Amino acid sequence: MLIQGAFQSTGPSSMAGYACDPAKSLGRRFKESPAPTRNDFQRDRDRIVHSTAFRRLVYKTQVFLNHEGDLFRTRMTHSLEVAQLARSISRVLRINEDLVEAIALAHDLGHTPFGHAGQDALNACMKEEGGFEHNFQSLRVVDSLESRYPQFEGLNLTFETRQGVLKHCSLKNAVYLHKKERGLSTRNELREGLQEDDGPEGDFQSVGSRFINNKQPSLEAQLCNLADEVAYNAHDIDDGIRSGLIGLEQLSEVALFEDLRKMVAQDYPALSPRKLAYETIRRMLSEQVYDIIRATHDAIKFHCVQSSRDVREAPPLVCFSAPMRAQSLELKRFLFQNLYRHPKVVETTCWAKQVVSDLFSVYVDNPNEMPKFNQSKDNLKRAVSDYIAGMTDRFASSEHKRLCNPASTGF
Ligand code: MG
């Protein structure tokens, strides 16, 4: 389906009034001189790409454990796919492509090894310390855990990128962040001034305040959230088929897949099953992208959104149409029942949870098994959690073998 007329892609120089403008950024936590050739959002993206946490994403699980095959998605390839989808859409919506790219590349930096299994195990281990949330952890990575610049800890990213990284947050953590940032602000270390449309000083914005006041993040952040969902639904089908855990015939119960599969089979009757799946998934992605562009454009118009302040006050604007939302939910349900709960996936999930909780206990009892940098922190359990969260699948697995079960061959 083609996008016509007003929906045609435009260059990044013609951004809409509701796009985030780097010249009006709410700034960095620690003041820095502007870069000579890049705007602040381009600079954020570059810092993320050069970070250690970003490189580790190559060896972190999405659904299949890293060593189960070389062609399955990892957090790195997933992040690149999210960035590709979100950038394509952002250019047509005339929002800020550089900011979208920075948020997309950083959105999973806080993920533990072994995907959601690792996160669940770490959350259980950290129950008495306030738990473990991967979105909050992504912010911790960019705000303090990356240690590479002489002037500050973390990457000192702009408010807008940090807000996009913090996709979800508990109220307790939001209040904590708000107080902390207000403290920095009064010491003049945070941002040089308020945006014109920010209102009085009382409207101080922190990355936590939108969760407290029930406001929306930027369109760029909203888009990355939805592009994340579109990307993992599509690539989990692809990986599911590749692994043999999902069959093409099973997918006939998913309307979004089946309708397009029939069209592809009609257009190319002699196609191999592999190419049939590729082409169906490609069309699925296109349909969802065009649907998001149309539905979001309509929502922006309907709510008369013209500025970034309007975006914050309006309901969520980046969305699917109602029929596409229903089809997407059906697809999610299918993946949940047939892939994420597949006995083979569950088997590795149980092993991964055990590895994370064993490692947690060992490091808490023997902090000297961690590098010196992690031993020196005030809160030992949080330091252990940060250390484990930063591990790749294979490092966690080898540490487990070394410290807990030398005779084990692991998975
Ligand atoms: Mg993601």
The CA distance from 42 to 196, in Å, is 23
Task: Report d(CA 202, CA 145) in Å as an integer.
Answer: 30
How remote is the CA of residue 92 from the centroid of ligand 1, in Å?
22
Give the distance (Å) from ligand 1 centre to CA of residue 79: 6
Average pLDDT over residues 384-409: 89
What are 158's strand-pairing partners? 28
Q: Give the residue with greater pLDDT, 70 vs 89.
A: 89
Output the CA angle 75-381-146, nearest 5 degrees.
45
pLDDT value, residue 199:
42
**Nearest C-alpha neighbor of 103 from the set 40, 141, 160:** 160
Among 60-74, 114-128, 305-319, the minimum mean pLDDT is found in 60-74
pLDDT of 411 higher than 90: no
Does the structure show a pLDDT above 70 at 196?
no
Is residue 408 pLDDT above 90, yes or no? no
CA of 366 to the centre of ligand 1 (A): 33
DSSP assignment string, 181-217: HHHHHHTT-S-SS--GGG-SGGG---TTHHHHHT---
Rounded distance from Cα 267 to ligand 1 centre (Å): 33
Query: For residue 194, what pLDDT is reported?
Result: 37
Amino acid at the residue 46: D
- What is the distance in A from the centroid of ligand 1 to the CA of 100? 14
Given this model, what pLDDT does residue 149 score?
Answer: 93
Residue 158 CA to ligand 1 center (angstroms) comes to: 21
Name which of 134-148, 165-179, 389-403 the model is least confident about. Answer: 165-179
Q: Is the pLDDT of residue 290 over 50?
A: yes
What pLDDT score does 169 carry?
87
Q: 119: CA distance to ligand 1 center in Å? A: 13
- pLDDT, residue 37, reads 94
Average pLDDT of the residues in 361-377: 87
pLDDT of 200 reads: 40
Among 61-75, 287-301, 317-331, 366-380, the minimum mean pLDDT is found in 61-75
CA of residue 160 to ligand 1 center, whole Å: 18
Residue spans per domain, the chain: 34-213, 219-344
What share of the chain has pLDDT > 70, as a percent?
A: 88
Distance 78 CA to ligand 1 centre (A): 7
Q: How close is the Cα of 35 to the center of ligand 1, in Å? A: 29
What is the Å distance from ligand 1's center to 290 Cα? 21
pLDDT at 272 (0 to 100): 94
CA of 190 to the centre of ligand 1 (A): 28
Residue 218 has pLDDT above 60, yes or no: yes
Distance 322 CA to ligand 1 centre (A): 23
**How many A from CA of 18 to the centre of ligand 1?**
25
Tokens of residue 192, six digits = 């040089």
Average pLDDT of every residue of the chain:
89
pTM of the complete model: 0.90
> How much distance in Å is there from the Cα of 228 to the middle of ligand 1?
5
How far apart, in whole angstroms, are the C-alpha atoms of residue 304 and residue 311?
10
Whether the predicted pLDDT of 3 surpasses 90: no
| Crossing angle between the packed helical segments 322-335 and 255-267, to the nearest 10 degrees | 100
CATH class of 34-213: mainly alpha
Joined tokens for residue 85: 């989808």
User: Residue 182: what pLDDT?
Assistant: 82
